[in-house]
Structure 1
Amino acid sequence: MAVDWLVDGIFGEGEQEEKRLITIDRSTPRPPLMPDTRDGSCNLPRSQRYNYQPLVDGAPTGATALICPQDLKPPNSRGKRVGSWNPPGYVAKKDRENQWIFNRSHIIGDRFNGDWVRENIFTGFKQMNDPGMKKCENRMASALDGGEPVLYSGQLEYGNGRENIPTGIRMTATTPNRVLFAGVLVSNVPGSQVTC
């Protein structure tokens, strides 16, 4: 399944601004094109740079974003939760060690000012979220901290028989100078796994 994203920017050698449709194909893990941010696209509000895909049967599907250095929150700060809802399939239950089994996970991470909206929050096993997704997000945070904007895609995958909890998230992130990671699948399972 492909996801289209309309981006304003300067592409290639010319200085003329244009709109370009970027297609992110979930079945082929390759990095999307990075727009040239000299055009001021990082000055646009997040609402124009963060694209939350529509819900399908009440469940989130994915998101794409141009994340800019100013979007990175200070360490250990959390965003405000608006509302008292839970994502589909969420169960507030602890394991034998009194640790939460599930997290309310963000597709676009809270540390990048990802919104607390139904299109961005899904049920993920605690270890999937931290350290699984966090390892990839740390690479993004390092690039942002160094002044580089990051073009990010997080696409949820379903198919485990429980249509409201994803089997994983496929993550891709690039900067103007390099690919941070491309098509990394972070499986939604308990226990450790190798990710970024």
Structure 2
Amino acid sequence: MIVSQSRSTFATGPRGRPGGDTGSDDEEERCDSEPKSSRFQYDELDGEGRAQGATALICPSDLKAPLTDRDTGAVNVYGFPDPAQNTPKSGKGNIFDRTHIVGDKVGGDWVNENLFTGFSRMNKSGMRRCEIKMERQLAAQNWVQYTAKVNYSHTEGIPDSITMSARTENGVLFDNVTVKNITEWQTTC
């Protein structure tokens, strides 16, 4: 299991999370009254054009129905390889994904500010487990307050990891979980 956790983001409310640490009535009211565009905030790209992070109040109405078409868009994600360099030796699948900071299934947009180059296994194991927890809460008609930061240890290239936190009116789903951008399967959340 490759996962690390650090100090809680919910105690201090960093990075200007939409809605801050308000009560559940405030989030429910925002879900009823505010459009997604005001509830989802993506950090600006860095000087290299790389995604940095996001915060979102995700409402039950943002959850996509099963088998809904994905908007794959023609987004040129920093560091994403051409198809010849993205095919594993087995010829099946991809080595890298255009990885969402705020997941596609929970309403995350196909924009550069919300996409980074992530190993497919990172996206389909470590990040996916956390996203499933959020999807279950949304399906149960609960809002999710989510924040994530993409971590780089260098000035160029793809990220090393992403650190994510999520809570609902029922409590914390996961807090400061770091998913490494590696080729191995990971267990998180």
- The two structures have a TM-score, normalised by structure 1, of 0.81
- CA shift for structure 1 position 34: 5.1
Q: Is the 8 A contact 1:133 1:186 kept in 2?
A: yes
Structure 2 residue aligned with 1:19: none
Find out whether 1:63 has 2:37 as its counterpart.
Answer: no
> Structure 1: where are the runs of 5+ without partners?
8-21, 23-32
Structure 1 residue aligned with 2:24: 36
1:184 to 145, 167, 177: 177
Structure 1 residue aligned with 2:6: none
Higher helix content, 1 or 2: 2
Q: Is the 8 A contact 1:34 1:151 kept in 2?
A: no
Identity %: 39
Q: Give the distance between the partners of 2:111 and 2:168, measured in 1 at CA.
A: 26
Structure 2 residue aligned with 1:125: 119
Q: Give the distance between the partners of 1:85 and 1:70, measured in 2 at CA.
A: 25
Q: Give the distance between the partners of 1:106 and 1:75, measured in 2 at CA.
A: 18
Find out whether 1:74 has 2:65 as its counterpart.
Answer: yes
- CA shift for structure 1 position 131: 1.7
Higher strand content, 1 or 2: 1
Q: Is the 8 A contact 1:34 1:175 kept in 2?
A: no
Q: Give the distance between the partners of 2:41 and 2:25, measured in 1 at CA.
A: 17
Letter in 1 for 2:145: L
Structure 2 residue aligned with 1:96: 89
Deviation readout 1:33-53 (Å, 9 max, x if unpaired):
354245620021000100001
Alignment of 1:133-144 (within 5 A): 133-144=127-138
1:53 to 31, 35, 43: 43
Q: Give the distance between the partners of 1:162 and 1:96, measured in 2 at CA.
A: 29
Letter in 2 for 1:3: R
- CA shift for structure 1 position 6: 4.7
Query: Secondary structure at 1:171's aligned position in 2?
Result: strand
Q: Give the distance between the partners of 1:169 and 1:120, measured in 2 at CA.
A: 12
Query: Secondary structure at 1:40's aligned position in 2?
Result: helix
> Structure 2: where are the runs of 5+ without partners?
1-13
Q: Whose RCO is larger (CA < 8 A, sep 6+)?
A: 2
